[in-house]
Structure 1
Amino acid sequence: MYIKCGDMDKARQVLDELFVRDVVVWSALIAGYAQVAQGDKALDCFDQMQYEGVSGNAVTFMAVLKACGVLGAIQKGEQIHDKIMELGLLQQSLALGNALADMYIKCGQVRKARQVLEDLPLRDEISWNILIAGYIEQGQDHKALNCLKQMEIEGLAPDPATFTCVLKACGSLGAVEQGKQIHDEIIRQGLLEKDVVLGTSLMDMYVKCGLFDRAQEVIEHLQGRDIISWSSLLAGYADSGDGENALNCFNEMQCRGLIPDAAAFSCMLNACAYSGLVKEAQALFTIMKTKFDIDPELRHYVSLIDLFGHFGHLDKATEVIQKLPDAELAAAWASLLALCQVWGNLNIGRWAFEHSIQKKE
């Protein structure tokens, strides 16, 4: 009960008071610590269990491997791997094999994870999802897509988690044709209306490939479309320097009853900066607080300073800097000084230099 409630101190106290502590009790405690990301305590429990002469089973090792992944404790993970091989457990438990591969992925060892999975007597969707996610994490998107092909050759059907990962790879590679094929399969399985995360990944793929019309179509079909979905579209318009469409999207989002958050405003200010929409950026910065009660963060100030500086409005950039908290002023004044050099503004440049020196002192 205590473990399910996340009260690991109480759970440990109960275990310490038991006269007999078997592998089931120890495994539950180790898994509990791993679940709440207290990997060091999980490994301490495992060492104590062994000291008391209690042998671990597949469930124990799965929990310990999770703890190793949390900590990035590759050496301990390799020791557990050796013990698992010694006991011949990999041939008996696919879940344990997946946990071992996941540990190697979390420790940045994708090649070892692949070897583990290839040595298993069989693999399931979870096995391939672990490997695909690992390749994407390492920026090896081509290998992630190759895994999808191999998975299908083995007769395994990709699930929403698989599609979510490979769509990210398609977006990074600009592999829009493969992305469209995946889109068709998602539609065929009726997944788009059921899974907002998957829908957002699909939309993000189209955004990264520059197909904003397709991205807009996807967002229209999402049942639970939220601010994250719209912010992804806003970010795409911003990155492409399309401030006008970003503004249209921003307004449409509000018409749908969604309230923009700090991330959405950050995307909008960047879009305005890329497109030179100075007045629009000023208006957005103002309504953040007056209409939506959002306190501007450093990223919002920086976007506005960059916008003003890029288009030579150094006086306005100065006004924004003066609103910053003291901790951020030194870097801001140094940035303004660089902008003054670009525009040859000696007066503000001298003032920025003096302030940057004062803040460093």
Structure 2
Amino acid sequence: MGYHSNEYVSSALMTSYAKNGLTADALSIFNDDKLPHSVIHSNVIAGMYNRSGQYHKTQELFCEVGDPDTASWNILIAACSRNGDFKEAFELFHHMQMDRITPDNYTYISLLSICTKLCNLVLGSSLHGLMIKANFNLCDLMVCNVMIDMYGKCGSVWSAATIFDEMIEKNVVSWTALVSALGLNGYEQEAVERFKQMEMIGIEPDNIAFIAVLSACRHAGLVNEGMELFEKMREKYGIEPQMEHYLLVVDLMSRYGHLKEAEQLISGMPFPPNAGIWRSFLEGCNRQRTIEDLSLPIQAKYNIALDRSLYFPIFG
């Protein structure tokens, strides 16, 4: 019908091909010299390269774009972030500002994620300050969630809680990020309380939220709370525990002396336990054995040591 030459139609068709993994079809349109091309077409292909891990091709394509827009810069910054080129990503952000290209939420998400990976609180706080100067109210829910996660993993739990409390809209990711931040920074009881508060207001936790709260229980030794939450996953929310959930609960019980319960849980797993689960269980056994040895009289300890030396002689 002749619409193939319309740049909006062709770019939409390329996007459809790219999202469905039809790389050759998307490239065939992009490489067709008879069709008009714009920066939108280049962004589609660059994004396709980015999702497939071909970051060098993303960079090569960016160099060929005559007038890159915000989406073009975002794709390249995201490519650097995923490829571990963190310094280059912030250099690109600097050039972006020099060219008077206004960053958007996707720009900040990539840069905040880098701060989280580097655990660099100074860099993250500086970026947050820049966002406030640029009208922080424009930031969406996803940006706020990433900021809570960044501050929590960088050790500033007060900043994470402040952002959370100031948010008008919150979702399960927001609550999970806060629970994780509290648990990581020594506020395990508060993390469990926040998790319960999330349930009370009607937000259903997902498997990631349970990982966050079970991790908090493990750090604080909250065995009963951890077991109740683990049972609630299946009974109330219909979430089948994954390997990481079992690892946290086994480690929790083994670490605080509930070895029989941990052994029963391992034997009832729907899949074979991995090395991490066995390591946690055996460390718990060794810890319990050490505690029992410390409680023995001196003569009994001497007899055990003598007995063990018969099986493990010391030479030299």
TM range (shorter): 0.7 to 0.9
Structure 1 alignment gaps of length 5 or more? 1-19, 47-63, 66-76, 346-361
Q: 1:89 to 1:211 in 2, by over 3 A?
A: farther
Please name the residue that 2:238 is paired with.
294
Q: 1:246 to 1:191 in 2, by over 3 A?
A: same
Deviations 1:44-87 (A, max 9, x none): xx4xxxxxxxxxxxxxxxxx14xxxxxxxxxxx9xx88x57xx4
1:310-325 matched pairs, under 5 angstroms: 310-325=255-270
Please name the residue that 2:297 is paired with.
none
> Which amino acid is the alignment partner of residue 183 of structure 1?
H
Please name the residue that 2:295 is paired with.
none
Q: Give identity over the alignment, percent.
A: 26
Quote the offset at 1:318 in angstroms. Answer: 1.5
1:169-180 matched pairs, under 5 angstroms: 169-180=114-125
Please name the residue that 1:14 is paired with.
none
* 1:271 pairs with 2:216: yes
Count of residue correspondences: 286
Please name the residue that 2:22 is paired with.
39
Q: 1:256 to 1:217 in 2, by over 3 A?
A: farther
Contact map agreement 1:171 1:209 (CA 8 A) in 2: yes
Contact map agreement 2:145 2:174 (CA 8 A) in 1: yes
3-state SS of 1:229 partner: helix
Mapped to 2, the partners of 1:169 and 1:329 lie a distance apart of: 33
Quote the offset at 1:171 in angstroms. Answer: 1.8
Contact map agreement 1:308 1:314 (CA 8 A) in 2: yes
User: What is the aligned-residue RMSD (CA, Å)?
Assistant: 3.5
Q: 1:343 to 1:175 in 2, by over 3 A?
A: closer
3-state SS of 1:270 partner: helix
Please name the residue that 2:50 is paired with.
105
Quote the offset at 1:339 in angstroms. Answer: 4.2
* 1:120 pairs with 2:120: no
Mapped to 1, the partners of 2:67 and 2:15 lie a distance apart of: 28
3-state SS of 2:169 partner: coil
Quote the offset at 1:187 in angstroms. Answer: 3.4
Quote the offset at 1:216 in angstroms. Answer: 0.8
Please name the residue that 1:209 is paired with.
154
3-state SS of 2:272 partner: helix
Quote the offset at 1:235 in angstroms. Answer: 2.2
Contact map agreement 1:94 1:122 (CA 8 A) in 2: yes
Mapped to 2, the partners of 1:189 and 1:344 lie a distance apart of: 56
TM norm structure 1:
0.67
Mapped to 2, the partners of 1:103 and 1:174 lie a distance apart of: 29
3-state SS of 1:258 partner: coil
Mapped to 1, the partners of 2:123 and 2:65 lie a distance apart of: 29
Please name the residue that 1:342 is paired with.
286
* 1:284 pairs with 2:229: yes
Q: Bigger relative contact order, structure 1 or 2, given CA contacts below 8 A and separation 6+?
A: 2
TM norm structure 2:
0.75
> Which amino acid is the alignment partner of residue 181 of structure 2?
G
Contact map agreement 1:160 1:191 (CA 8 A) in 2: no
Q: 1:328 to 1:193 in 2, by over 3 A?
A: farther
Mapped to 2, the partners of 1:88 and 1:184 lie a distance apart of: 47
* 1:233 pairs with 2:178: yes
Quote the offset at 1:333 in angstroms. Answer: 8.3
Mapped to 2, the partners of 1:33 and 1:100 lie a distance apart of: 11
Quote the offset at 1:193 in angstroms. Answer: 6.6
